[in-house]
A and B are shown apart, each in its own frame.
Chain A
Amino acid sequence: MKWLKVCRKDEIPERGGRAVLAGGSRIAVFRLSDGRVLAVEDRCPHKEGPLSDGLLTGATVICPMHHWKIDLESGNALPPDCGCVKTYEVKVEDCIVWLRL
């Protein structure tokens, strides 16, 4: 595991997400309204919808496919749905976003 440089923070849309391809995995990084950046696997546990295209509210992303809500901190789908995605460690230093992979 090591920290890898992803992009500048402002390359992620405000209150939005962006897809990151790293090796074989597809990761969604999100820029929250409180300034934090969080990352999860970019694949909804329901039907593999691209979470990076979802609507972001607080620390929850709503999948664009069938409106599942995924908590970005835990990676868990919110009730009534059930499921989870992998979460990734993120850090932001000098406006540069790093992912631990």
Chain B
Amino acid sequence: METKKKLVMIGNGMAGMKAIEEIIDINPDLFDITIFGAERHPNYNRVLLSSVLAGEMTVEDIILNDEEWYRKNNITLHLGKPVVEIQRGYRKVVAADGTTAAYDCLVIATGSKPFILPLPGVDKEGVITFRDIYDCERMMEASVRYRKAAVIGGGLLGLEAAKGLVNLGMEVTVIHDRKTLMNMQLDEVAGEMLRESLEEQGMRFRTSTLTKRILGDDRVRGLEFEDGSRLECDIVVMAVGIRPNKDLAEGARLFCNRGIVVNDYMQSITDPSVYAVGECVEHRGKTYGLVAPLFEQARILAYHITGQGLKTYTGSVVSTKLKVSGVDVFSAGDFEGNGSSDTVMYLDRKGGIYKKIVIKDERIIGAVLFGDTADGTRLFQMMQDGTDVSEQRSTLLFGNTMLGDAGHSGLAQVSMMSPDTIVCGCNGVTKKMIEDAVVKHGLTTRKEVTGCTKAAGSCGGCGPLVDQILVSILGSSFARSANAMPLCDCTELTHDEVKEEIRRRRLLTVGGAMRALEWKGEGCDTCRPALNYYVQSIWPKETSDDPASRLVNERMHANIQKDGTFSVVPRMYGGLTTPEELMRIARVASEYNVPAVKLTGGQRIDLLGIKKEDLTAVWRALGMESGYAYAKALRTVKTCVGSRWCRFGTQDSMGLGINLEKMLERVWAPAKLKLSVSGCPRNCAEASIKDLGIVGVDGGWEIYCGGNGGVRVRVAELLCTVRDADEVMEIAKAYVQLYREDAHYGERTSVWIERVGLDRVKRAVVDDPQSRSALAARLDEYIETLGEDPWKARIREEEERPGMKPITIDARAVNE
């Protein structure tokens, strides 16, 4: 029997547990997991301690994983058992009570300890740190018996503690050694505004003040400062900072500096079987105390420890939001700037709004927002993306909110966000993940969203944004995106869910998929063709076509007309024909009394009014291939004459068009697919309204995509510019395959691209050469599975194929 590897984790905090969750997510059966926690509580959300202190939440509210969760995941949990020794030689850990556990992999997630200023008197009763539930409980107890509190430290932690104590009814003075509150996150202006705002809420401050000693006998009675002045107080909360908790690691001779030093895979640089994550870690000379980077580390650790390979942690840019009600503060990156950077700023002191963005080389490198932080997420995204802001400087501070009409600014902002914008930086939850969860599980509240996606479950700073997303989905039934709608009335599942299930459960037939996905009835004319397309596009080699799930045109390989007759459009590659071909067409038209012969918009010839029973004979007489003018498949590649004839032509558009059509003929797609190639920028082949339009320019080709000239005109967007025709072919392959894999059935490229965004298409088809060649290779594989031309096949099979000709019952027998 295979024995699982043993994974032991020291520490039961947020970063460590995030790593465990990620590991279980990747492979729940890989490890036997044992966790030692020094606290008696199961894993809880330390970030929200301030909310517990502030009385906004209870301890139960901030529990992340209850004991039941550990049981369900077969995790051995030792609570209240601090590990006292790591014996690396024996690969085991020893807890205070003597419990031992052997490991193959060890994860150290011991977090941090509050830093205690070495002041005379710190050991007196009433000196409290602010770090865990126990500290919270002590402060809450103290607030019942005492009135005056001093908080040493005017940083994030100190202010949250102070606010909590104010809410508990205490008189609170914050002592800060610098002039500016939260000086790690705020500049002087924002710091002053923050101070004013907190003073209005009843907090007092002594800034630029150093504490000399703590006064009192056994119990705290006051503080004495360096300038000799004193402050009376009953409790002292020490919140000057945290230090990585590296004692255990140091004891085990793992290399430590400020924290446990790890490589980019979160392994100790001393011992590869030991990983470390969270606040106890030092990575590339930096330690982190905010939750978002720790979660990022946890993900990387999980990838590596489960053998998923190559992702590395390269450090984080952090943003901060202060969680003090009534005060909105956001800060990210280098908010001070220096000589080589410049600043865009908006200040309304009376209105309590301050926004500052630091820009260097036209990119945002830092930001401080006070009073109105709605743009924080967007700015932080731009900062991480390195977005060039030279064009937007004048509107940068007023954000997307400028674009919406009055009263809808929030919604407008949400709708402006791209689907993969991170909404919850703590848990790496994107807008799309939230939307999908809301739609899939019918969520209606922020709490449900948190339960489902973890968004807003850590720092809670993105809560308002989550609300906006909820409003944007639920506010009006019209706002429901196509993404969210069930495929049709026969199922509750969306297109994407159906595709995912077909892929995951290897569903190979329309009927099989309907059974497995609990379809209502035998499907309809919406879902049956869609399922038939999905099973074949996802499993091209393993499936075959289901004619009963095709609508008449695709089943008959001809276009039904209003009188029940059909039209026949043979393929003319690139719109090019020959006298012989034309004579044959003319002969057929005359022989079969074809009532109408018409040139199509796609540069070919349409024979209209052909009886169903004559189709095969017409095809045989034409001796041409099907033009698929009836199909959700490649239709035509329209061309201009190009450099072969045109005196302005710069490129051989006919040659490229013919090659493209030969490459893509008979390729089925979610909807019809129209291409064109123009030989010069005069663009006579109208590339700008095609699903894929190519325009020859001097020395290369411009490739446009997502154009449409039908119901709703949409001008194609530039996908990329390439040098030669071979590159065009490669891009075309990748683009068509991405569309085939990604779009919903029935969705034209114009709609698809509007839904997923041009950037996504560009990334997969242009920017990432690996993705491009993989897509192209998948299309090639699919093309190999395509059989012969359907008309030729019909001609060959006519004898045995029933259904083309009506059955005639002798009229005399009927009339007798």
Which A residues contact B (CB, under 8 angstroms)?
A: 2, 4-7, 10-16, 18-24, 26, 33, 47-50, 52-58, 62, 64-65, 67, 99, 101
Contacts and interface: CB of A to CB of B under 8 A. Distances in A.
A16 B190 CA distance: 73
A19 B552 CA distance: 14
Given A11-B807, A21-B809, A49 B548 contact: no
B402 interface: no
B351 interface: no
A64 B551 contact: yes
Contacts of B612: 53
Contacts of B521: 57-58
A15 to B, nearest CB: 4
Contact of B807 (A6, A50, A54, A67): A6
A92 to B, nearest CB: 15
12 contacts: A6-B809, A18-B807, A20-B807, A22-B811, A23-B809, A26-B806, A55-B524, A55-B525, A55-B548, A55-B549, A55-B551, A64-B551
Contacts of A4: 809, 813-814
Contacts of A62: 524-525
A22 B809 contact: yes
Nearest to A99: B809
Contacts of A99: 809
Contact of B802 (A11, A22, A56, A65): A11
B803 interface: yes
Contacts of B813: 4
Interface stretch (B141-149, B556-564, B774-782): B556-564
B806 A23 contact: no
A48 B564 contact: yes
A18 B806 contact: yes
Contacts of A18: 802-803, 806-807
Given A55-B552, A64-B560, A99-B809, 14 more contacts: A5-B809, A16-B803, A19-B806, A20-B808, A21-B806, A21-B808, A24-B811, A49-B564, A50-B560, A53-B552, A53-B612, A56-B548, A57-B523, A101-B809
A16 B531 CA distance: 17
B815 interface: yes
A29 to B, nearest CB: 8
Contacts of B548: 13-16, 55-56
A69 B622 CA distance: 36
Interface in B779-816: 802-803, 806-809, 811, 813-816
B61 interface: no
Contacts of A21: 806-809
A10 to B, nearest CB: 8
B808 to A, nearest CB: 5
Contacts of A5: 809
Given A13-B548, A49-B564, A50-B564, A19 B807 contact: yes
Contacts of B564: 48-50, 53
A53 B612 CA distance: 10
Interface string B640-682: 0000000000000000000000000000000000000000000
B522 A58 contact: yes
B809 A65 contact: no
B650 to A, nearest CB: 46
A47 B556 CA distance: 20
Contacts of B553: 64
Nearest to A25: B814
Nearest to A5: B809
Interface residues of B, number: 30
Contact of B811 (A6, A23, A53, A55): A23
B547 interface: yes
Nearest to A50: B564
B814 A23 contact: yes
A101 B816 CA distance: 10
Main secondary structure, interface of B, reads mixed
Interface in B62-105: none
A13 to B, nearest CB: 5
A13 B800 CA distance: 12
A6 B802 CA distance: 13
Given A16-B547, A33-B522, A64-B552, A57 B808 contact: no
A13 B548 CA distance: 8
Contacts of B814: 4, 22-23, 101
B547 to A, nearest CB: 7
A5 B809 CA distance: 8
Interface string B753-787: 00000000000000000000000000000000000
Contact of B562 (A14, A26, A47): A47
Nearest to B812: A23
A59 B802 CA distance: 21
Nearest to B564: A50
Contacts of B550: 55
Contacts of B356: none
B567 to A, nearest CB: 14
B528 interface: yes
A49 to B, nearest CB: 7
Contacts of B802: 7, 10-13, 18
B517 to A, nearest CB: 16
Contacts of A48: 564
A65 B813 CA distance: 32
A48 B562 CA distance: 9
Residue among B524, B528, B564, B612 with the most chain A CB within 10 A? B564
Nearest to A59: B522
Interface string B532-566: 00000000000000011111110110001010100
Contacts of B809: 4-6, 20-23, 99, 101
Contacts of B803: 11-13, 16, 18
Nearest to B553: A64
A4 B807 CA distance: 12
A6 B524 CA distance: 28
Interface in B511-530: 521-525, 528
B556 A53 contact: yes
A53 B206 CA distance: 86
Residue among B523, B548, B556 with the most chain A CB within 10 A? B548
A12 B803 CA distance: 6
A42 to B, nearest CB: 8
B807 A13 contact: no
Nearest to A10: B802
Contacts of A55: 524-525, 528, 548-552
Contact of A53 (B522, B560, B807, B816): B560
A22 to B, nearest CB: 4
Contacts of B808: 20-22
Residue among A2, A26, A33, A64 with the most chain B CB within 10 A? A64
A13 B547 contact: yes
A38 to B, nearest CB: 14
Contact of B522 (A6, A11, A57): A57
Contacts of A13: 547-548, 802-803
Interface in B587-629: 612
B506 to A, nearest CB: 23
Nearest to A58: B522
Contacts of A49: 564
A67 to B, nearest CB: 6
A65 B552 CA distance: 9
Contacts of B523: 57
Nearest to B806: A19
A11 B480 CA distance: 46
A41 to B, nearest CB: 14
Nearest to B549: A55
A19 B803 CA distance: 8
A11 to B, nearest CB: 4
Nearest to B529: A55
Contacts of B524: 55, 57, 62
Nearest to B556: A53
Contacts of A58: 521-522
